[in-house]
Amino acid sequence: MALSTRNRLRGRVTSVVKGEAAAKVSLDVGDSTMVALITRESAEELGLSEGQEVVALVKATDVMIMTEDGGLA
**Interface pick for a second copy out of 12, 39, 50, 51 (rule CB under 8 A):** 39
Looking at residues 13 to 32 of the shown chain, list those that interact with a second copy (rule: CB under 8 A).
Answer: 17-25, 29-32
DSSP-derived pairing of the beta strands 53-58 and 32-39? unpaired
Name which of 8 and 50 has its Cβ closer to a second copy: 8
Q: Give the chain's radius of gyration (CA, Å).
A: 14
Does 51 bind a second copy (CB under 8 A)? Our answer is no
- Residue 58: CB minimum distance to a second copy, A: 5
**Distance between CA atoms of residues 2 and 72, nearest Å:** 38
Q: Which amino acid, 40?
A: R
Cβ neighbours for 6, distance < 8 A, ≥ 6 positions apart: 59, 60
Q: Which residues bind a second copy (CB under 8 A)?
A: 1-10, 17-25, 29-43, 45-48, 52-73
